A and B are shown apart, each in its own frame.
Chain A
Amino acid sequence: MFKILEKQVFSPIIKQMVIEAPRVARKCQPGQFVILRIHEEGERIPLTIADFDREKGTITIVFQEVGKTTKQLGTLEAGDYIKDFVGPLGTPSHIENFGTVICVGGGVGIAPVFPIARALKEAGNHVISIIGARTRDLLFWEDRMREVSSELFVTTDDGSYVRKGFVTDVLKEIIDARGKDNINLVLAIGPQPMMRACCNVTKDYGIKTIVSLNALMVDGTGMCGCCRVTVGGQTRFVCVDGPEFDGHQVDFAELARRSATFRAEEQRALERHTCQCGCGGGK
């Protein structure tokens, strides 16, 4: 059992939890993920590590409530326990001094970008971060991102905060303003369409772009192959070969199709959950 030490509600659907998991905290690196299972009948879901504290033995996760499991997770409070919590899984981000790096975080993807941006900055990079969300309420960690970035740009799709526009608009503007040769790497984490859109932008400029893929998973140790994705024409497992890949090589269309495999079942589970537990999920 793994104790929830703190809970913060950023918006009705975006929440942060600090989990006591010393074995995970001792070894995890930016870019890695955990798999958790709330209770005995629960499913295993992967979540990218948003922060960690080796001394306190804690892992921070930030999640958006989309399906039954994340909604149920959202009903738990500090002091409650999660049945299973395993990690660190996946290959850590490749960190070195590339020069100037643009880190793009979209929606709940801001969370996993944070420790990577911090590590890139500590490695000596000039880190330009772009964070964006659909609307002001869904934006979080502006202060934390500012701390670990050399420059920070904020945008909202509906213009409810700072400026109106997608992260890709900002990305394009920055590359145009600074010159493509002055950007050495782009990292983009967020919903699949956003990562795909970022890759479409950078491809034209020929700037290498790393994405962190959120495929369906079961075990997370390379055992089942559920998370397989085509990268550069080859089948790779997101759980062990990733989650980070060269975005220009990723077959996003296939990833989107495979991600939708259980959409009907997910919907059914969600509706059933909404009826029974009274947490107000599904609103």
Chain B
Amino acid sequence: MAEKKEIIPKKHPMPAQEPVERIRNFNEVALGYDEETAVAEAKRCLQCKKEPCRQGCPVEVDIPAFIKLVAERDFAGAIKKIKEKNALPAVCGRVCPQENQCEKYCTLGKKHEPVGIGRLERFCADWELARGVLPQEVAPPTGFKVAVVGSGPAGLTCAADLAKLGHKVTVFEALHVAGGVLMYGIPEFRLPKRVVQAEIENLKKLGVEIVTNAVVGKFATVDELMEEEGFDAVFIGTGAGLPYFMNIPGENSCGVYSANEFLTRTNLMKAYLFPEWDTPIKVGRKVAVIGGGNVAMDAARTALRLGAEESWIVYRRSEKELPARHEEVEHAKEEGIKFAFLTNPVRILADENGWVKGMECLRYELGEPDESGRRRPVPIPGSEFVMDVDTVVVAIGQAPNPLVPRTTRGLELGRKGNIVADPQTGATSKPGVFAGGDVVTGAATVILAMGAGRIAARSIHDYLLHKRA
């Protein structure tokens, strides 16, 4: 008879840098489990028959199997199991919204806290990275060439899967380093860039070639890649790289950044190391970040680390509707980020040199639910007031980057300029061209983009085999 297990109701806490300390540095906030904690957390898993956690994973990781291996201290076996399905485990273990995915369905989670699946995934990936990554098996060459446009989560996943199937994959990246939003968008303190680059090095070991400084749509179009450079298929994963602005007066004042600019200067260009690194950034005393998503939290927390005295999240709905992950909101609060809910700017005020000196806002109240199901924010007439800020970061979302969609013949586009692709296959209206991630869905999560990359890789493989037949 199996021994009856004593249930530990809560996840083992994630060791983290203390808030007072971390708001003055860019080091990673969450420090990761050690071996003993990981094993103890893995033993919380009930190894239940139904495995409901698996349905919550967009890339289909065999979660109970890898957790069992961790519990048995077979860490090498555990990471191997994860990597059968997930090309970027060190990334996913850090930035996936597990509470809405695998952990949401965990049987243990019905009465207690779910198993810390994300933390265990991160532990396994870090364990392997610290020891040097073993090469993975690659199928014999098929002779097919596939171009992957964009090296963010969707592109990297697609590239890894196709390379493992024996196809020759070339990834084209517009910026000077690969990684897309993992490099320019998500801050160092949430996702260290060495972790991203280590994962990309692993892809190169699969035979994936990465060409940086290559803007598809400019140096060559998708059509030219296929017709002149001999690619048999193309995957487009160019992301949501076009920032929305609010179109309010004063938005072009000095000291107003899009979240993309604010984060790109800081993360990709390492402006926090200026003047050792050449790219500057300027953050004033009081920063207002407009928006309530993960990007907004990242920007607000970044502003503090860049030396702001006060960093505000300004959001037009209430705390309940914040689209950011709960964990990110909690981290932000611990760090002293201030929240102005039910507030939205109507005008940015500038001084005589064109610099931000304040932001005129309106207070809102929640009305009837809108098409998204959330209660619609309604401005309260006469509630104008001026927020005393000198830096504004606009983090209200991004549209798909138009460079590739606009320069590719025969590609059906959606209303917002997104590429229309079959969610089951990633196929676009153009034969041999597949797409996935934010360029199809609009700004979403890393793991959904990875899931789309995986689905497209499978379809591209089928398409190529069919082409040969």
Judging by beta carbons under 8 Å apart, are B220 and A222 in contact? no
- Return chain B residues, CB-CB under 8 Å to A44: 176, 269, 279
- Return chain A residues, CB-CB under 8 Å to B274: 265, 269
A101 to chain B, nearest CB (A): 26
- Return chain A residues, CB-CB under 8 Å to B46: none
Judging by beta carbons under 8 Å apart, are A257 and B354 in contact? yes
A59 to chain B, nearest CB (A): 12
Judging by beta carbons under 8 Å apart, are A221 and B219 in contact? no
- Return chain B residues, CB-CB under 8 Å to A258: 252, 254, 354
Judging by beta carbons under 8 Å apart, are A219 and B175 in contact? yes
Q: Complex: how many Å from CA A188 to CA B255?
A: 29
Q: Complex: how many Å from CA A260 to CA B352?
A: 13
A38-74: which have CB < 8 Å to B? Answer: 41-44, 68-69
Judging by beta carbons under 8 Å apart, are A221 and B403 in contact? yes
Asked if A266 is at the interface of the complex by the 8 Å CB criterion, the answer is yes
A253 to chain B, nearest CB (A): 8
Query: Would you give the 0/1 interface string for B186-221, flagging 1 where the beta carbon is closer than 8 Å to chain A?
Result: 000000000000000000000000001111001110
- Return chain B residues, CB-CB under 8 Å to A257: 253-254, 353-354
Q: Which of B174, B215, B252, B269 contacts A43 (CB 8 A)?
A: B269
Q: Give the total of B residues in contact with A, Cβ under 8 Å.
A: 43
B438 to chain A, nearest CB (A): 12
- Return chain A residues, CB-CB under 8 Å to B220: 23, 27
Asked if A185 is at the interface of the complex by the 8 Å CB criterion, the answer is no
- Return chain A residues, CB-CB under 8 Å to B212: 84
Given contacts A84-B176, A221-B174, contact A43 B278 (CB under 8 A): yes
Q: Complex: how many Å from CA A261 to CA B258?
A: 15
- Return chain B residues, CB-CB under 8 Å to A225: 243, 245, 257-258, 260-261
Q: Which of B215, B269, B402 contacts A86 (CB 8 A)?
A: B215
Interface class of chain A by DSSP: mixed
- Return chain A residues, CB-CB under 8 Å to B265: 218, 224
Q: Which of B251, B257, B401 contacts A221 (CB 8 A)?
A: B401
B167 to chain A, nearest CB (A): 23
Judging by beta carbons under 8 Å apart, are A224 and B215 in contact? no
Q: Give the total of A residues in contact with B, Cβ under 8 Å.
A: 42
Judging by beta carbons under 8 Å apart, are B252 and A228 in contact? yes
Asked if A226 is at the interface of the complex by the 8 Å CB criterion, the answer is yes
Kindly name the residue among A218, A225, A268 whose own CB sees the greatest number of chain B CB atoms within 10 A: A225
Asked if A85 is at the interface of the complex by the 8 Å CB criterion, the answer is yes
Judging by beta carbons under 8 Å apart, are B218 and A261 in contact? no
Judging by beta carbons under 8 Å apart, are B219 and A23 in contact? yes
- Return chain A residues, CB-CB under 8 Å to B16: none
Judging by beta carbons under 8 Å apart, are A84 and B213 in contact? yes
Q: Which of A69, A222, A229, A265 contacts B403 (CB 8 A)?
A: A222
- Return chain B residues, CB-CB under 8 Å to A266: 280
- Return chain B residues, CB-CB under 8 Å to A83: 176
B96 to chain A, nearest CB (A): 24
Judging by beta carbons under 8 Å apart, are B252 and A27 in contact? no
A4 to chain B, nearest CB (A): 16
Judging by beta carbons under 8 Å apart, are B243 and A223 in contact? yes
B350 to chain A, nearest CB (A): 9
Judging by beta carbons under 8 Å apart, are A86 and B254 in contact? no
- Return chain A residues, CB-CB under 8 Å to B261: 218, 224-226
Q: Complex: how many Å from CA A185 to CA B261?
A: 35
Q: Complex: how many Å from CA A229 to CA B254?
A: 12
Which A residues have a C-beta under 8 Å from some C-beta of B?
Answer: 23-24, 26-27, 37, 41-44, 68-69, 83-89, 218-219, 221-226, 228-230, 235, 240, 254, 257-258, 260-262, 265-266, 268-269, 272
Top 6 nearest A-B pairs (CB, nearest first) are A257-B354, A265-B280, A224-B261, A43-B278, A86-B213, A223-B241
> Can you list 11 A-B contacts (CB < 8 A)?
A24-B219, A27-B219, A27-B220, A41-B270, A41-B273, A84-B213, A86-B214, A89-B215, A222-B401, A228-B252, A269-B274
Which B residues have a C-beta under 8 Å from some C-beta of A?
Answer: 174-176, 184, 212-215, 218-220, 241-243, 245, 247, 251-255, 257-258, 260-261, 264-265, 269-270, 273-280, 282, 353-354, 401-403
